[in-house]
Amino acid sequence: MKKFIPAIISIAIFLLFICLPPDLISKKSPLKVTTSDGANLNDTTFKGRVIQENLFKSQEYYPILGSSELEKPDPFHPIHMFKAMDTGKKPFLIGTGGSTDIIHAINIGSKVGEIKGKKLAIIISPQWFTDKGVDDNNFSARYSELQLDDLLNNEHLSKAFKQKMSRRLMDFTATKDKRLVEYYANDGDRHNLTVEEKIYNNLMKKNDAVKSVLMLSNNVLQRSKTVDIKGKSWDEIYQIAEQYGKHHSTNNIYGMDNAYYKKILHHQKKLYRNNEFFINSKEFDDLDLLLEALKEAEADPLFIVLPVNGKWYDHINLPYERRQPVYQKINDHIYKYGFKTYDMSGMDYMPYVIKDAVHIGWEGWAFADAAMILHMQGKYPDMPVNKFNH
C-alpha cells in the first residue's frame, strides 16, 4: 500500500488543482512585485490575464501597447521619464517584438466590458504595413490563446466583431482549426462550450494565475542609463535628448546609434526593406480590428504613429513618396473611428528621433513622453499635430 501513497497524493493534488477556482489563486498575485514598476516584459505579462486585469483596474498605471521599441533601453524611455516628471503614474508596458495590430486587437477584445474610459497609449509602427501583413509564424508565436478564448466568450463583445475577427483568424495555422473560430467565421450567432473546452479554458486560466503568483521581478530597463531632467522644461529636455543623440551617433550620417551602425556595416542588421510601406497591406484590416475593439470597449486611447529613419530609407530606395501615403492612411483609419493620434510621421527626417532604422529613441521618446503625459491629463485633443514647437 505504501508504494501507492505518492501516486495517490499526486492524483489528489492534481484533482485539487482542477477544482480550484482561478480567481482564488490570482488573489495572491503580488502585483507590485511581478510588474517591476510596469516593465516585466515576459509572456505571462504579455499573453496572460491576471497581471493585465490588475493593472487595467489600477489608477497607478498608464498602459502602453507597442512592440520591440518597448524593450529597447533608452535614457528617455517612459519607464524613466514618467518618474522623473513626477506624473504620479507608472507606464505599464504590453508588447514585444512582432506585436502587430491583430495581436493587440485580440488582447483589447478580450477586455471589452472592463476598460471603459481607460486611458492608454498604442504605438503604431509603419514597418508593420508589409505587402502581405503579419506572417503566419509571427502571429503564431505572438498571439495569446487565453486572450483569444476570453474574446470569443466575451458577452460584452458584439457578434459582428467576433465574426469579423474569426474570419481573419482563419488565415493562420494556429487558429483556423479552433472550433469557435470556425463557428463565428461561418456566421454563427450563439454557441455552447463543450465540457472539454470548459475544462481546457479553466486550466489555461489557472496556469496563468499560478505563473502570475510565482513570477519574479525582472525589470531590465531600470538598469539602463538615465539622465538628470529634474525640474527641466520640455524645451530643455528636448535639447538634452538632442545632444545625447548627437553624442551617440558620431560614426554615420543617418543619426543612428554608433553600435547599431557598426552592425549594419558588418551586415548583422537588415539592410533592405522592400516589403514595407504597402498602401494595400492587410495590416490596415488588422488595424481596423484593433480600432473596432477599442470602440466597443469605449476606451480612451492615444495612438502614437511613429516615423522611420527617413534618411536611411531614402538610402535603401524606399523614398518619402512611397512612405507618406501609408503614414496618411494609418492616420485616416484612426480618425475614422473618432480616436486621436500623436502623428510623428512628419519627423522622419528629424535627427535623433529614430535611433536606428525604425526604433524610437532619444528625442523621439522625449516627444512621445510629453504626448502621453498630456493624454494622462486629458489634454490630448489640443496637442499640436506632428511635433511640439522645437
- Predicted confidence (pLDDT) per residue in 253-265, tens digit: 999 999 999 999 9
Question: Angle 224-237-363 (CA atoms, 0-180°, nearest 5)?
Answer: 65
Which one, of 119, 120, 172, 175, lies nearest residue 152 by Cα?
175
pLDDT confidence of residue 298: 97
Region 327-334: mean pLDDT is 97
Check whether 10 has a pLDDT greater than 50.
no
pLDDT confidence of residue 24: 47
- Predicted confidence (pLDDT) per residue in 85-102, tens digit: 999 999 999 999 999 999
pLDDT confidence of residue 153: 92
Radius of gyration for the chain, computed over Cα atoms and rounded to the nearest angstrom: 22
- Predicted confidence (pLDDT) per residue in 19-49, tens digit: 455 554 445 555 554 555 666 778 888 899 9
Check whether 295 has a pLDDT greater than 80.
yes
Region 232-247: mean pLDDT is 96
Contacts for 226 with CB less than 8 Å, ≥ 6 apart: 75, 80, 84
More confident residue, 372 or 199: 372
pLDDT confidence of residue 383: 46
How does the average pLDDT of the chain come out, rounded?
87
pLDDT confidence of residue 293: 98
Check whether 252 has a pLDDT greater than 90.
yes
Amino acid at 383: M
How far apart (Å, rounded) are the C-alpha atoms in residues 258 and 356?
A: 9
- Predicted confidence (pLDDT) per residue in 168-210, tens digit: 999 999 999 999 999 999 988 776 778 888 888 888 888 888 8
What dihedral angle (degrees, nearest 10) is formed by the CA atoms of 67, 65, 88, 374?
100
Longest dimension (CA), the chain: 80
Work out the pLDDT band at 271, boundaries 50, 70, 90: confident
For 378, left (φ over 0), alpha (ψ -120 to 50), or beta?
A: left
**CA atoms in the 13 A half-sphere facing the CB of 17:** 15
How far apart (Å, rounded) are the C-alpha atoms in residues 74 and 222?
A: 10
Q: What count of other Cβ atoms lies within 10 Å of the Cβ of residue 340? A: 17
Check whether 13 has a pLDDT greater than 60.
no
Q: Spell out the domain ranges in the chain.
A: 36-142+217-382
pLDDT confidence of residue 3: 53
81 close to 369: Cβ distance less than 8 angstroms? yes
Domain 36-142+217-382 has CATH 3.40.50.360: no
Check whether 122 has a pLDDT greater than 70.
yes
Looking up cell 506624473 gives 87
Length of the chain: 390
How far apart (Å, rounded) are the C-alpha atoms in residues 179 and 310?
A: 45
Which one, of 245, 316, 277, lies nearest residue 128 by Cα?
277
